[in-house]
Amino acid sequence: MNDKFYSWIMFLISPFVSMILAFKDYTATYSRNIFWAFCTFYGLTFAIGGESDGSDILFYINEMKSLYLRHELTVYQAIELFKNSGEVDVFKSIISFMLSRFTDNQAVLTMVYAFIFGFFFSRNIWYVFSIIDGKLNGLTKLLLLALILVVPIWNINGVRMYLAFHVFMYGLLPFIFENRKHKLVFCFASFLIHFSFLIPISVLLVFLLVGTRLNIYFIIFVASIFVSEFEITQFNQIIDTYVPDALAQRSAGYRNEQVVEEYKEGIINVTSNWYSLWYHKGLRWSLTLILIYLFSFSKYRIKTSYNWKKILSFCLLFFAISNFLSNVPSGSRFYIFAFFLTLTLIILYLNKFQEDSKFLLMIQVLSPAILLFIVISFRLGLYNTSLSTILANPIIALFSAGETIPINDLIK
């Protein structure tokens, strides 16, 4: 009781320090709520710099400000406005309308986003903590840090996609490890946050229909590694024929044939920094090699538990789908499913089968790629992390809300 009390006092003094202590004492029942509170504080101190030009968060803020100016707008009129817009993501529109009735402040919007995001984020990370046996060694801690950074709190910059991810995982993880099928309602609800979650929902439905067919999933996974071409014309024909008009129109920009070809040729999203390109690729290829090893050389250990087979099946299936979609603009975002699930599998396997010396050696050899992912992910977080996030507390932050400067702007 005293530890819990002092932890919350520390949060009021320094949310950043309290967050670090929450991870240090992750077995405490209150630690996940401390982290949730820190996520909310992060939203209050969220900074928007020049790198955010054209980002989703600016669109969300402008939408709320536009609605704020329309004080006469009733709920019925807002619903009609939503229907006429062709929008299919319910979550964003509800939040924007509700907040616009009393404020147009960016800090309030990002704090609400972070409050909702932080709940599911904290629960997913602490769920992984709860299924780890024994103490954490150095490699496990490194992998856990990478897991946390797959979809971190600063991803409220594009909150719909990444909140939908954590909502999906909030339902999927208990289904994998405890067979709690009623939790799958969160997986299906993720579509209301971002329309593209029809894809992971479809993957889930395939698994529910086919089951844990490891050999089949592995063949598809290996085939996806060697697929370099994606026939966008045939894909568009399928979408236009079988998908409802609202969704087909909503996804048209992602499926434009000229855009796809330019994307393949590297005309779009070209970067001059090697690490900005390879931090993601390095992790992807490292996890790919690890999955091949686990299937080829450690399948007999995984077969001892149905839950292990389930998570390996999902890893292979999501990795295969992500490989196929990586040829489409924004399709590479679906790697977050493969990364999160595969890192979870690796953490649990490393923790349980410490006698597998070959696997341990493999993780050690690949650890530089994992470390690069961690370093660059933190670096990207500086675009939206302010000094107030690190140094301030909730009382001080209230006086500077909406006037924060990204740390990246201060150091460049």
Q: Which of 102-116, 207-221, 269-283, 383-397 has the lowest mean pLDDT?
A: 269-283
pLDDT class for 258, splitting at 50, 70, 90? Answer: very low
Between residues 173 and 297, the one the model is more confident about: 173
Contact criterion met (CB below 8 Å) for 124 and 170:
yes
For 125-174, what is each residue's pLDDT tens digit?
999 999 997 778 889 999 999 999 999 999 999 899 999 999 999 999 99
For residue 237, the model assigns a pLDDT of 58
- Tell me what pLDDT residue 341 has: 97
Give me the sign of the Cα torsion angle 363, 366, 371, 376.
negative
* 406 φ, ψ (degrees, to nearest 5): -60, 145
% pLDDT > 90, the chain: 53
Q: Are 149 and 377 in contact (CB under 8 A)?
A: yes
Give me the residue spans of the domains in the chain: 1-130+385-412, 134-383
Q: Determine the Cα–Cα distance for residues 34 and 18; give it in Å rounded to an integer.
A: 7
H or E stretch at 92: helix 90-100
Q: What is the CA radius of gyration of the chain?
A: 22
- pTM of the predicted model over 0.85: yes
Do the Cβ atoms of 95 and 113 come closer than 8 Å?
yes
Mean pLDDT to the nearest integer, 296-307: 78
Would you state the pLDDT for residue 336?
Answer: 95
115-141 burial, b if ≥16 CB within 10 A, otherwise e?
bbbbbbbbbbbbbbbeebeeebeebbe
Q: 386 forms bridges with which residues in the sheet?
A: 406
- On the question of pLDDT at 312 being above 90, the answer is yes
Q: What is the spatial distance between Cα 382 and Cα 406, in angstroms, rounded to a whole number?
A: 6
3-state secondary structure of 261: helix
- In this prediction, residues 21-31 reach a mean pLDDT of 92
The pLDDT score that the predictor gives to residue 364 is 94
Helices and strands of the chain, counted as H and E runs: 24, 0
Cα dihedral 290, 292, 297, 300 in deg (nearest 10): 100
pLDDT score at 81: 75
Contact 316, 218 (CB under 8 A): yes
